[in-house]
């Protein structure tokens, strides 16, 4: 009788110990999981500031292009330069706002795989926008010179100087060469993706470090939960 009671007590004690260990493991997992999620969120918070800076840069560029519109309106060359830079500035603002929207839409209470898919969408959108916005300067540097010239144009220079055929040829030639350069970069990136995708992925991670660190934190969490 006593032996039976002792065995029952031992079984109950073992069940209690198992329950405590399970609760402790679950608590440790939640704590560890929350730590990795907090780290991922912290990295994306720093990225938010860069996007606010991008939007601010777009607004500043709009202001910089104003003289080409307001002071030199009858002349097509400075107006074209101002228009191109205004369009680029709008693209900057849209890109920054879209990235902020994607960051804000990530649900960190969702399963890890769902968060990773959302991060992958953010990464693809950010890299695509950064590629085109960065390489656009192959074309835009010449219109930028025109806008800077509109700011720095001395009073003694007649506005008719903008109508000189040489100025238009300079703009078109350099924009054409810039378009060729953009096409060459795009082809080179496509070839890089086919031949050395891992190398390109590392390069892209260096171009978006906040997203890369957030993805690394989630990868650690996925591995821990899977094991």
Confidence band, pLDDT 50/70/90 cuts, at residue 7? low
Query: Which positions ≥6 away from 208 have C-beta within 8 Å?
Result: 123, 126, 127, 130
d(CA 162, CA 168): 8
pLDDT for residue 3: 58
d(CA 56, CA 22): 51
**Does the pLDDT value for residue 75 go beyond 70?**
yes
Confidence band, pLDDT 50/70/90 cuts, at residue 219? confident
Give pairs for 130-136: CB < 8 Å, separation 24+.
Answer: 130/95, 130/207, 130/208, 131/189, 133/88, 133/91, 133/92, 133/95, 135/181, 135/182, 135/185, 135/186, 136/88, 136/91, 136/182
Write down the domain spans for the chain: 39-226
pLDDT for residue 180: 96
How many CA within 13 A on the CB side of residue 156? 0
pLDDT for residue 188: 94
pLDDT for residue 160: 59
Residues 162, 72 contacting (CB under 8 angstroms): yes
Residues 154, 179 contacting (CB under 8 angstroms): no
Q: For residue 75, is it left (φ>0), alpha (ψ between -120 and 50) or beta?
A: beta
pLDDT for residue 74: 74
**Does the pLDDT value for residue 222 go beyond 90?**
no
158-210 per-position pLDDT tens digit: 555 555 677 778 888 989 999 999 999 999 999 999 999 888 888 888 888 88
Average pLDDT score over the chain: 81
Confidence band, pLDDT 50/70/90 cuts, at residue 73? confident
| DSSP conformation class of 70 | H
93-129 per-position pLDDT tens digit: 999 999 999 999 988 888 888 888 999 999 999 999 9
Confidence band, pLDDT 50/70/90 cuts, at residue 54? very high
Nearest by Cα to 148 from 156, 139, 136, 140: 140
pTM: 0.78
d(CA 186, CA 18): 59
Nearest by Cα to 211 from 120, 133, 132, 130: 120
Residues 218, 40 contacting (CB under 8 angstroms): yes
């Amino acid at each position: 009788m006593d032996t039976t009671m002792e065995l029952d007590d031992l079984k109950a004690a073992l069940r209690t110990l198992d329950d405590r260990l399970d609760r402790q493991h679950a608590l440790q997992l939640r704590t560890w999981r929350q730590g990795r999620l907090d780290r991922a969120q912290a990295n994306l918070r720093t990225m938010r500031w860069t996007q606010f800076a991008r939007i601010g840069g777009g607004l500043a560029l709009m202001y910089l292009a104003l003289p080409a519109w307001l002071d030199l309106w009858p002349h097509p060359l400075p107006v074209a330069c101002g228009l191109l830079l205004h369009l680029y500035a709008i693209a900057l603002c849209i890109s920054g706002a879209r990235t902020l929207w994607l960051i804000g839409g990530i649900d960190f209470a969702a399963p890890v795989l769902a968060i990773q898919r959302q991060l992958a969408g953010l990464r693809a959108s950010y890299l695509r926008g950064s590629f085109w916005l960065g390489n656009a300067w192959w074309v835009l540097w010449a219109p930028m010179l025109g806008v800077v010239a509109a700011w720095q144009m001395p009073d003694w220079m007649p506005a008719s100087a903008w109508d000189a055929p040489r100025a238009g040829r300079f703009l078109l030639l350099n924009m054409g060469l810039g378009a060729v350069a953009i096409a060459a970069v795009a082809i080179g990136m496509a070839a890089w993706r086919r031949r050395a995708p891992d190398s390109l992925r590392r390069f892209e991670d260096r171009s978006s470090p906040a997203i890369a660190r957030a993805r690394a934190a989630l990868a650690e969490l996925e591995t821990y939960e899977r094991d």
